[in-house]
Amino acid sequence: MFDSVEIKKANKLLRDQSPQEIIAWALSKAKNPIVTTNFRPYEVAILNAVSQIKSDIKVIWCDTGYNTPNTYKHANELISTLKLNVHLYVPKQTTAHRDATIGIPSIEDPKHKLFTEQVKLEPFKRAMSEHTPDVWFTNLRKGQTAFRDSIDTLSVSADGMLKVSPFYNWSDAELDVYLEENNLPNEFKYFDPTKVLESRECGLHA
Tell me the whole-structure pTM to 2 decimals: 0.88
Q: How confident is the model at residue 199 (pLDDT cuts 50, 70, 90)?
A: very low
203 inside domain:
no
pLDDT value of residue 159: 76
Residue 16 lies in a domain: yes
Look up the domain containing 80 and give its range. 4-181
- Tally of domains within the chain: 1
Q: Is residue 142 part of a domain?
A: yes
For residues 180 and 177, give the distance between their C-alpha atoms in angstroms, rounded to a whole number.
5
Does residue 98 surpass a pLDDT of 60?
yes
What is the average pLDDT value for the chain, to the nearest integer? 90
pLDDT digits (tens, 9 = 90+) for 1-40: 677 788 989 999 998 899 999 999 999 999 999 999 999 9
Query: Quick check: is 201 in a domain?
Result: no
pLDDT at res. 151: 73
Asked if residue 9 belongs to a domain, the reply is yes
Distance, CA of 107 to chain centre: 21
Do the domain assignments include residue 80?
yes
Confidence tier at 200 by pLDDT (50, 70, 90): very low
Residue 187 lies in a domain: no
Predicted confidence (pLDDT) per residue in 99-157, tens digit: 999 999 988 899 999 999 999 999 999 999 999 999 999 999 886 555 556 678 999 88
Instruction: Choose between 190 and 52: higher pLDDT.
Output: 52
CATH number at residue 62: 3.40.50.620
One-letter-per-residue 3-state SS of the chain: CCCHHHHHHHHHHHCCCCHHHHHHHHHHHCCCEEEEECCCCCHHHHHHHHHHHCCCCEEEEECCCCCCHHHHHHHHHHHHHCCCEEEEECCCCCHHHHHHHCCCCCCCCCHHHHHHHHHHHHHHHHHHHHHCCCEEECCCCCCCCHHHHCCCCEEECCCCCEEECCCCCCCHHHHHHHHHHCCCCCCCCCCCCCCCCCCCCCCCCC
Whether 193 is in a domain gets the answer no
